[in-house]
Amino acid sequence: MKALWTVAAAAIGAAAYGLSRPGVRATLREDLDTVRRRDPAATNDFVSLVSYPGMHAIWAHRGLHRLWGNDTAKVPARLMSQAVRTLTGVEIHPGAQIGRRFFIDHANGVVIGETSEIGDDVMLYHQVTLGGTSMEQAKRHPTIGNHVLVGAGAKILGPVVVGDNSSVGANAVVVKDVASDSSAVGIPAKVRPYKKLTSAEAGGPNADDTRSKYADFELIDPAIWI
Ligand SMILES: CC(C)(COP(=O)(O)OP(=O)(O)OC[C@H]1O[C@@H](n2cnc3c(N)ncnc32)[C@H](O)[C@@H]1OP(=O)(O)O)[C@@H](O)C(=O)NCCC(=O)NCCS
């Protein structure tokens, strides 16, 4: 019981110290805005703050990734990432590089390998794996560009590249590069460039009719209605 109180006091102390720093407060605001933008069910920041394990896993990863950069702290970083996995259901290797406004919805069962690189504004759903196919200690996990959506259950395997503004369909298995502005669906995933919108579909006479269907996918993402 005493140990529990000690852990709780340490967590409250760390949270208070973090919130006293303007940079941390700005990042927290950005994270909460990201949840609202990505999940129409999120309407209350306090509820988001306490009930999104995907967001908690990302917070922990940011600290553990800094620890990982220090050779003497690699073992504790790895052990703590396993504790985070137990608490959140999300396993992110502390070596993985992740950009801003990253969001994992429903969170459970997500695995992100050591040499994964993830750009800004990327969203994953539950049961996604960014995994390796080789046992070599080299770049062996995927590189995900900016503004990418990865559907529930998708597996992206090996050092493949998923280009900017692309989406990977639910349950797809991606083993080859995915070009920018494309979707990849099926097993093994087939890559198709996005359809272009006509002027009328794009919403008016001044609309750009060559715009990718998903240029603004965070607002029209079909997954968002689920
Ligand atoms: C891939 C995805 C982003 C849609 O991309 P899109 O380019 O708009 O694709 P469309 O809906 O126009 O469908 C294009 C084709 O792919 C097929 N397709 C779409 N998603 C698919 C999937 N996950 N697996 C297999 N085929 C799929 C469609 O049936 C369609 O086939 P057709 O051309 O033979 O008719 C979307 O279907 C998806 O899987 N989103 C993830 C949703 C998710 O995980 N939600 C979890 C909520 S809890």
Q: For atom 32 of ligand 1, which residue has the closest CA?
A: 185
Q: Residue 38 falls within a domain, yes or no?
A: no
Q: For atom 1 of ligand 1, which residue has the closest CA?
A: 169
For residue 118, the CA-to-ligand 1 centroid distance in Å is: 22
| Ligand 1 contacts CB of residue 94 (under 6 A) | no
Ligand 1 atom closest to 194 (CA):
7
Own/partner long-range contacts of 201-208 (Cβ < 8 Å, ≥24 apart)? none
The H-assigned helical ranges of 69-197 are: 74-88
State which residues form the domain around 131: 52-194
Q: Residue 99 falls within a domain, yes or no?
A: yes
For residue 171, the CA-to-ligand 1 centroid distance in Å is: 10
Q: How many domains, in total, are found in the chain?
A: 1
pLDDT of residue 197: 61
Q: Residue 16 falls within a domain, yes or no?
A: no
Q: Residue 24 falls within a domain, yes or no?
A: no
Q: Residue 165 falls within a domain, yes or no?
A: yes
pLDDT per residue rounded down to tens, the chain (226 residues): 788 888 788 878 877 887 888 888 999 999 999 999 999 999 999 999 999 999 999 999 999 999 999 999 999 999 999 999 999 999 999 999 999 999 999 999 999 999 999 999 999 999 999 999 988 989 999 999 999 999 999 999 999 999 999 999 999 999 999 999 999 999 999 999 987 666 666 555 554 444 444 444 444 454 544 4
What's the CA gap between 47 and 51, in Å, rounded?
6
| Ligand 1 contacts CB of residue 111 (under 6 A) | no
Q: Residue 225 falls within a domain, yes or no?
A: no
Report the CATH number at residue 159: 2.160.10.10
| Ligand 1 contacts CB of residue 187 (under 6 A) | no
